Structure formats: structure tokens, C-alpha cells
């Protein structure tokens, strides 16, 4: 009993230390962004760079990626989990090998494909690669969710005369809402934060997503002589949507990681 209490206290202490280490740079960034001129630092950010087109690009890219991933990953996960077809396991494991390939190794081939399709310098040059790269992991999470659902539901649906499409849309999908919520949040964070492909695939500064702005603002600030507090303010502006999205969706992330990963 005493040992278990010690382990519990030790575990909580480790979690507290990890939380402090994780939050410290974020809190420091927020505090420094109000240093010097205070809230006027944020006014300088919006005067130095017109962020509206970049926010618009990020929204287009994120929601386009979410649409493709939610459709493809859910339907593929349902098929791999509940349907029977030839070489199902082999195809599934081949798809999962995509998670083992580092993104940096795929940038040049993806750029050649995007350029060949004439999509470079458009939001679509990021939507298709982001959706492709996010499908593998999210497919695994959703498949584990569908695996946890009893097959008796499918049998009951067949008895009632429901086809595969109706069973998927009216029975399976509502039960997998927590997993789908995790997929949407994870994909949102991934697409909003991505920087490498955003820099390479889009050269037009007016079309680049918001993730490129801190780097671009640093270059502009160096020329115009802005203080460090203004740079921190630019970072806060770019990270604010992520923070809001994470605050309201963190419980779905935890549910998705625990249920979707463990039940499989």
C-alpha cells in the first residue's frame, strides 16, 4: 500500500514537471509579447504583414484536408475492419508502411507531382499531400474503433435489409464519432502547423499559409528593426487558433488515443 502511494506520488510529480517544462516556453512567449509597447506589439504585427490572405489559405488547406481525410480514412477503415475481400491484411499492412517513410523523403517526389499537375502556388498543392500523409495514421485509429464494434450490428442490419452503404452511414459512423473527432483534430493540428512543404510548394507570399508567417515576419522584422517582443506577438497570433482548437478538442484527443489505440 505504501509502495503504491509512493509510485503514485512519483508519477504525479513527473507529470507536473513535464507539464511545467512544456508550458514554460509558451507562457514566456505570451508574457514577452506584451513587453515594451504592450498590446501595441500586436498592432505592429498586423501593420507589418497583411495576414488575411494567409489565414484564408490556411483555412482552405485545413478544411480541404479534413474533408478528404474524413471521407477516405473512415470508408477505408470500415472496409478493412468489417468487410471481407482478397488480400485484405496484406493491403492494410502495405498502407500502414506509409507511416514509416519520413516526410522529408517524400517532399521532392510530391513537389514533382504537384508541379506536373500545375497545382504549385495554389492551396491544392498542399491539400493533396497533407491528406495523403495524414490518411495512414488516421486509418489505423479508425480501424481500431470499428474493430471494437460488435459484428452483431452488421448481422442485425442485414436482417433489416440494410445494405453496406446504409450500415456504414447510419450505424457504424455514429458509433465511431469519438474516433472521427480525434481524426479531425489531429489532422487540423498537422495541416495548420506544417512548414516544409508550405515553403517549397508555394512561393507566392500572398498564397502561403499562416505557418510560414513567423519565418517571413522574422526576415521583415530584421529589416525594419522590430524588437523581439513584436516577433513573439507574431508567434502568438499564428498559434492562437491552434490553442483554441486544442482547448476545446483535447478530450477527444485523449479519447481517441486511449480507446482507438488500445481497443485494437
DSSP string computed for 41-103: HHHHHHHHS--HHHHHHHHHHHHHHHHHHHHHHHHHHHHHHH---TTHHHHHHHHHGGGGS-H
| Interval 174-180 mean pLDDT | 83
C-alpha cell of residue 108: 521532392
Closest CA to 239 of 195, 204, 207, 181: 195
pLDDT bracket for residue 106 (50, 70, 90): confident
Kindly list the domain boundaries of the chain, sorted by start residue: 34-262
Least confident range from 38-47, 70-79, 221-230: namely 221-230
The whole-number pLDDT of residue 261 equals 47
Has residue 45 got a pLDDT over 50?
A: yes
Has residue 25 got a pLDDT over 60?
A: yes
Q: Give the Cα-Cα-Cα angle 161, 164, 170 (nearest 5 degrees).
A: 80
Question: What pLDDT, in 10s, does the model give residues 190-207?
Answer: 899 888 899 889 988 888
Q: Please state the CATH superfamily assignment of the domain spanning residues 34-262 in this structure.
A: MetI-like (1.10.3720.10)
Distance between CA atoms of residues 124 and 114, nearest Å: 9
The whole-number pLDDT of residue 22 equals 83
Cβ contact 207:123 at 8 Å:
yes
Q: Give the length of the chain.
A: 264
Cβ contact 190:64 at 8 Å:
no
Least confident range from 109-113, 179-183, 244-248, 251-255: namely 251-255
The whole-number pLDDT of residue 2 equals 61
| Interval 213-224 mean pLDDT | 68
- Please give the span between the terminal C-alpha atoms of the chain, in angstroms, as a whole number: 32
Cβ contact 133:103 at 8 Å:
yes
Least confident range from 59-68, 103-112, 149-158, 210-219: namely 210-219
Q: What residues contact 54, with CB distance under 8 A and at least 6 apart? A: 206, 208, 209, 210, 212, 213
Amino acid at each position: 500500500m505504501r509502495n503504491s502511494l509512493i509510485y503514485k506520488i512519483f508519477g504525479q510529480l513527473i507529470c507536473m514537471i513535464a507539464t511545467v517544462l512544456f508550458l514554460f516556453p509558451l507562457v514566456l512567449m505570451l508574457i514577452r509579447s506584451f513587453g515594451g509597447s504592450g498590446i501595441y506589439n500586436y498592432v505592429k504585427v498586423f501593420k507589418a504583414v497583411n495576414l488575411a490572405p494567409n489565414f484564408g489559405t490556411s483555412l482552405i488547406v485545413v478544411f480541404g484536408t479534413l474533408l478528404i481525410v474524413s471521407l477516405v480514412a473512415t470508408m477505408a477503415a470500415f472496409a478493412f475492419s468489417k468487410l471481407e475481400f482478397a488480400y485484405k491484411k496484406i493491403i492494410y499492412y502495405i498502407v500502414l508502411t506509409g507511416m514509416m517513410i519520413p516526410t522529408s523523403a517524400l517532399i521532392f517526389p510530391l513537389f514533382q507531382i504537384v508541379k506536373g499537375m500545375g497545382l504549385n502556388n495554389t492551396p491544392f498543392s498542399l491539400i493533396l499531400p497533407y491528406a495523403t500523409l495524414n490518411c495512414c495514421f488516421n486509418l489505423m485509429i479508425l480501424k481500431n474503433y470499428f474493430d471494437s464494434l460488435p459484428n452483431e450490428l452488421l448481422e442485425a442490419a442485414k436482417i433489416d435489409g440494410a445494405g453496406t452503404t446504409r450500415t456504414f452511414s447510419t450505424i457504424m459512423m455514429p458509433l465511431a464519432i469519438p474516433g472521427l473527432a480525434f481524426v479531425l483534430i489531429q489532422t487540423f493540428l498537422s495541416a495548420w502547423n506544417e512548414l516544409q512543404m508550405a515553403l517549397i510548394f508555394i512561393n507566392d507570399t500572398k498564397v502561403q499559409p499562416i505557418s510560414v508567417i513567423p519565418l517571413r515576419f522574422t526576415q521583415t522584422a530584421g529589416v525594419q528593426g522590430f524588437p523581439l517582443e513584436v516577433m513573439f506577438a507574431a508567434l502568438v497570433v499564428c498559434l492562437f487558433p491552434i490553442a483554441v482548437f486544442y482547448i476545446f478538442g483535447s478530450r477527444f484527443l485523449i479519447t481517441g488515443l486511449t480507446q482507438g489505440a488500445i481497443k485494437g
